[in-house]
Structure 1
Amino acid sequence: MHQFTTHTHTIAMDQITHKFVQVNGLKLHVAEIGLESSPVVIFLHGFPEIWYTWRYQMIAVAKAGFRAIAPDFRGYGLSEQPAEPEKATFADLINDTASILDSLNISKVFVIGKDFGAIVAYPFALQYPEKVAGIITIGLPFMPPGAFTTEFVLPEGFYPRRWQEPGRAEADFGRFDVKTVVRNVYILFSQSELQIANENQEIMDLVKPSTPLPSWFTEEDLEAYAALYEKSGFRTALQVPYRTMHMVGSEVQNPKVEVPTTMIMGEADYVLKIPGIGEYIRSGEVKKYVPNQETIYVPHGTHFLPEQFPEKVNELVLEFLNNHKHLVAV
């Protein structure tokens, strides 16, 4: 058991406050902890995540003198659904992030993005450079222009390809309750190999009902996720990221993110096995776009580093924040 299952952690979780901000016609949920006068860190989740994914990091950065804010993206968690989820794009999430900061009167932040949160974090920095002091991404690098159309071709039967097809994931997920879907996704995404379905198989069929949850993910955690996905459903989540992947990386011509960035990857993260991605990171090609990036690998780390190895991630995050906090001096 890691130390966060202690009574102290329960008390700290109680100190996370929840508010709703009205931005771009929607009521979006924001979890936060820390003093309003402190330098701000905004945490951007991926799928199947929500604000709760960042519970360990939020508490750690608040204890270290920062203010942590973690929104649920539109259509996720406690945030409102857009009127037409099937029209949502990454641009909406980028604009929402800027609007959330404006509505909270926050002028400059450190941005931490996990999974597709990285696909929001970097374009956000390119479009609003004055708002960003530094970036940490976990589990995904900066995505080059046309990333998933020319650069990284996803194998047939791999879950993003399957979920891109309107109706297919809906039919697959619809055979199970929400809790089982979230459970299966956590089990699938914590593997170190690409999970590929056969032609006559769906993604949910890749997980046997008897497969246990990862050791670092409790039944209580699963309940927390399931409750939020029961509320939000998967409509927006299937649209962004999966059905808008062809648009990824096309926001800016000749993009270059000049702020300090760190990318944290688990050595056992299946993302490194997606054709082209491991090589793109290891060869240094990614530095064409993020010249000031440091890449850190966590041994035995899977795609869920913030929850699998919270102490290690907290240590790396705090080292980065403390080294660069002069960049947000008011």
Structure 2
Amino acid sequence: MTQEIEHTHLPIRGLNLHVAQVGKDELGTVVFLHGFPEIWYTWRHQMLAVAAAGYRAIAPDSRGYGLSDQPPEDVEATWEDLVADVLAILDTLSIQKVFLVGKDYGAIPAYDFALRHPDRTRGVTCLGIPFSPAPFDFTTMPEGFYILRWREPGGRAEADFGRHDVRRVVRTIYILFSRAEVPIAEEGQEIMDLADLSTPLPPWFTEEDLDAYAALFEKSGFRYPLQIPYRALHRMKMQLDAKFQVPVLMVMGEKDYCFKFPGFEEAMRSGAMETFAPDLKIVYIPEGSHFVQEQFPEQVNDLLLGFLKDHP
């Protein structure tokens, strides 16, 4: 499936970032930003679909992920770096204006880029994470909530992950994150204890897909991925006066466990997002999980291509 996709490394702001690309840019360019525990490969279905429709698809491995370089350990991870990386990629490739597609934590720099650089943005599509004008507040969640566990700086997540090989860690997270329930450990449990090797993979995620993810995380490990997003969520900026000047498409699987995060459903169903994004369309996929772009690729591709064509 991925033979048509080309792979390069670009010198971006002191790091060599891995970038996957396909397509000829007849109608424009689409930049895909992944979440956790993802890399460029999460967008394989969408990249080929937009390329076939006449667009150029670009999917970087975020700094510290996959085949991209690791920032030095003493450098603080920031959301501003992710936005600056996207801008530098566009400048390096001499691309003036793009559509942005973000998933999971990749939605945060996608939204931020569109707000900061509307002159470089044709539109933004985000999956799973609504726009938030303030840092996410998880103080009402139980102690065993995975984000509270993984954002601890003392190495608890590293110790939990370190009990298993990389393939087992990615496998477990994919199983947990594809469910409708929020991953929460009981007292005496760690997050990796919530699934074992007898737990089947989601039917739409193959052993070969798992191999592709595991190979890339073997290279990067989890040190930086735990910094961004989990240990930087509290450093999201206040943007109470944000106003998108470009069209926004929000896609949410109704069985995405993130839908149960505090304030997420209200932000989407109450019309609160329209305060910040006047040209907003929200689409719900009834059986969609957190990995809706891999679970229902044709449905997501149709929505994405429709959005691109509606905003030439």
Normalising TM by the smaller chain, what interval? Answer: over 0.9
Choose which of 136, 140, 158 in structure 1 pairs with 2:145: 158
* Structure 1 counterpart of 2:261: 274
CA contact (8 A) 1:34 1:68 kept: yes
Helix, strand or coil: the match of 1:87? coil
CA contact (8 A) 1:62 1:68 kept: yes
User: Shift of residue 295 of structure 1?
Assistant: 0.6
Separation in 2 of the partners of 1:253 and 1:194? Answer: 28
Task: Give unmatched runs, 5+ long, in structure 2.
Answer: none
More displaced, 312-321 or 28-37? 28-37
- Kindly report which structure 2 residues correspond to 1:64-143, keeping only aligned pairs within 5 A, or say none: 64-84=53-73, 87-143=76-132
Choose which of 181, 190, 210 in structure 2 pairs with 1:193: 181
Are 1:236 and 2:228 counterparts?
no
* Structure 1 counterpart of 2:165: 177
Residue identity opposite 1:282 in structure 2: R
Separation in 1 of the partners of 2:74 and 2:149? Answer: 18
* Structure 1 counterpart of 2:36: 47
1:286–1:40 CA distance, 2 compared to 1 (3 A): same
Separation in 1 of the partners of 2:183 and 2:75? Answer: 26
Helix, strand or coil: the match of 2:124? strand
Separation in 1 of the partners of 2:34 and 2:226? Answer: 15
* Structure 2 counterpart of 1:285: 272
Separation in 1 of the partners of 2:278 and 2:137? Answer: 22
1:36–1:51 CA distance, 2 compared to 1 (3 A): same
Helix, strand or coil: the match of 1:14? coil
* Structure 1 counterpart of 2:215: 227
1:110–1:212 CA distance, 2 compared to 1 (3 A): same
Helix, strand or coil: the match of 2:38? coil
* Structure 1 counterpart of 2:48: 59
* Structure 1 counterpart of 2:17: 28
What is the CA deviation profile of residues 189-233 of structure 1, one whole-angstrom value per residue up to 9, with x for unaligned ones? 001011211231110011132100000000000000000000000
TM-score norm. by structure 2 comes to 0.96
Residue identity opposite 2:182 in structure 1: L
Helix, strand or coil: the match of 1:116? helix
More displaced, 165-174 or 194-203? 194-203
* Structure 2 counterpart of 1:318: 305
Helix, strand or coil: the match of 2:311? helix
Separation in 2 of the partners of 1:29 and 1:89? Answer: 19
Task: Give unmatched runs, 5+ long, in structure 1.
Answer: 1-9, 326-330
* Structure 2 counterpart of 1:3: none
Runs of 4+ in 1 over 4 A off after TM superposition: none
* Structure 1 counterpart of 2:133: 144
User: Shift of residue 86 of structure 1?
Assistant: 6.0
Separation in 2 of the partners of 1:244 and 1:86? Answer: 13
